[in-house]
Amino acid sequence: MNHLDELEAEAIYIMREVAAECEKPVMLYSIGKDSSVMLHLAMKAFYPEKPPFPFLHVNTTWKFKEMIRFRDQRARELGIEMLEYINEEGVRQGINPFDHGASYTDIMKTQALKQALDKYGFTAAFGGGRRDEEKSRAKERIFSFRNQNHAWDPKNQRPEMWKLFNTRIRPGESIRVFPLSNWTEKDIWQYIRRENIPIVSLYFAKERPVVVRNGQIIMVDDDRMKLLPGEKVEMKKVRFRTLGCYPLTGGMESDADTLDAIIEETLSAVESERTSRIIDSDGGASSMEKRKREGYF
């Protein structure tokens, strides 16, 4: 077995354990490359059966249009159940990434996710988080327990021994499960190439309308993007290393329009991928851990 085979087998084993032992699992699907890999693994893990759980996309309503199209197309092709959840209360209040900064992420992502999990009563939720993304994730178990308020207690994690996952919880508690914990960004790309996994075209470099704001290249995906004085929309050949809400996702100038070119660029990259996620740079080194304690995935 090469190392991708090992990572694949580990993820499939984990998914089957959850399906066998957890009462009501769901797989979170964020449309990004990690979700694409996770979905692909789920299709393999249970084959010839369809994955015995639904998929859930928490939509902030600010995702790239291409992402939503891709999501709907994949769900149709694979014949899986794709749930969408939007925090309608947040929409009514007009919460948006331009005016509400950090509380936007909290209301439209963190709160929305908690509401969705509560609404359906899911007891276990797969997420595509990887330990190489960020320092507090590097310390999280594959099976990560949440109390009734969906909060994580990093000081009191259950020991996780060998492949013996303890999935027992009390009513109201839930588990977040990260089958890709041990994958690196490079592994993800190599696996996408090996398995020929479809991904959103935003990952490939293309001429796109963008503005440069605070050193970040932001794509103007629709007319809700408010231009600041002095800003002008220009066409640049850009691609995205991570995908999220378009006003919060920095692109990079690149000519990489094939998988091989992306992998080449990733291997020589000088910045880790979360740099392009604007929300992470608020609050310094520990911001991710803080958000996780509050229930962010």
Partner 1 sequence: MKNDLLKFITCGSVDDGKSTLIGHMLYDAKLIFADQKKALELDSRVGSRDGNIDYSLLLDGLMAEREQGITIDVAYRYFTTDNRSFIVADTPGHEEYTRNMAVGASFASLAVILVDASKGVLTQTKRHSRICSLMGIRHFVFAVNKMDLVNYSQMTFDKIKRHIKMLMAEFDYQSLQIIPVSATEGDNITKKSDRLSWYNGKTLLAYLEDVDVKEEDGGEGFSMAVQRVCRPNQNFRGFQGQISTGEISVGDTVTVLPSRETAGVLSILQGDQKVEKSGSGYCVTLQLDREVDVSRGCVIVKDYSLHISSMFVASILWMDDSSLMAGRNFWLKLGTQQIPATVMRIKHKIDVNTGAEISADTIYKNEIACCEISVGSSIVFDKFASNRELGSLILIDRITNMTSACGVVMYPLHRGHSLTWHNMDITKELRESQLGQKAFTIWMTGLSGSGKSTLANALEKRLFSMGKHTMLLDGDNVRMGLNKNLGFDENDRIENIRRIAEVSKLMNDAGLIVLTSFISPFSQDRKNAREIIGPGFVEVYVSTPLEECERRDVKGLYREARQGIITNFTGISSPYEVPEKPEAVVDTSRHTIDECVDIVLEKLQDFLKTPEQ
Restricting to residues 132-161, name those near partner 1 by CB under 8 A.
132, 134-136, 138-139, 141, 154-155, 157-161
Site membership for partner 1, residue 47 (CB under 8 A): yes
Does residue number 45 form part of the binding site for partner 1 (CB under 8 A)? yes
Give, in order, the Cα–Cα distances in Å from 132 to each of 27, 139, 176, 273. Answer: 21, 10, 17, 10
Contact call for residue 20 and partner 1 (CB under 8 A):
yes
Structure tokens, 55: 């998929």
Answer yes or no: are the C-beta atoms of 259 and 80 closer than 8 Å: no
Minimal distance, residue 225 CB to partner 1, in Å: 26
**Alpha-carbon separation of residue 92 from 83, 86, 87 (angstroms):** 21, 11, 9
Comparing CB distances to partner 1, the nearer of 102 and 267 is: 267
According to DSSP, the β-strands at 25-28 and 55-58 are parallel
Contact between 90 and 108 under an 8 Å Cβ cutoff? The reply is yes
**226 part of the interface to partner 1, by CB under 8 A:** no
> Alpha carbon 220 to chain centroid distance?
21
Mark the segment that binds partner 1 (CB under 8 A) among 65-73, 166-174, 216-224, 257-265.
166-174
Q: Give 209's strand partners.
A: 235
Told to check if 79 binds partner 1 by CB under 8 A, we report no
Segment contacting partner 1 (CB under 8 A): 62-70, 85-93, 131-139, 196-204? 131-139
Minimum gap (Å) between residue 258 Cβ and partner 1: 22
Subset of 246-285 contacting partner 1 (CB under 8 A)? 269-272, 275, 285
Question: Is the Cβ of residue 86 or residue 269 nearer to partner 1 in the bound state?
Answer: 269
CB of 131 vs partner 1, minimal distance in Å = 5
Q: Does 2 help bind partner 1 (rule: CB under 8 A)?
A: yes
The reply to whether 166 sits near partner 1 by the rule CB under 8 A is yes
Cα–Cα distance, 177 to 291 (Å, whole number): 17
By CB atoms closer than 10 A (0-12, 13-18, 19+), residue 53 is buried
Q: Does 222 bind partner 1 (CB under 8 A)?
A: no
Amino acid at 232: K
Q: What strands, in cross-sheet order, belong to the sheet with 124-126?
A: 82-85, 55-58, 25-28, 124-126, 174-177, 143-146
Our CA angle for 78, 109, 180, nearest 5°, is 50
CB distance 152 to 103 below 8 Å: no
The one among 50, 194, 224, 226 contacting partner 1 by CB under 8 A: 50
Q: Is 99 in the site for partner 1 (CB under 8 A)?
A: no
Per CB under 8 A, the list member of 92, 149, 162, 196 interacting with partner 1 is 162
With respect to partner 1, which residue has the nearer C-beta, 63 or 292?
Answer: 292
Contacting positions for partner 1 (CB under 8 A): 1-3, 5-9, 12-13, 16-17, 19-21, 43-50, 131-132, 134-136, 138-139, 141, 154-155, 157-164, 166, 168-171, 181-182, 184, 186, 269-272, 275, 285-286, 289-290
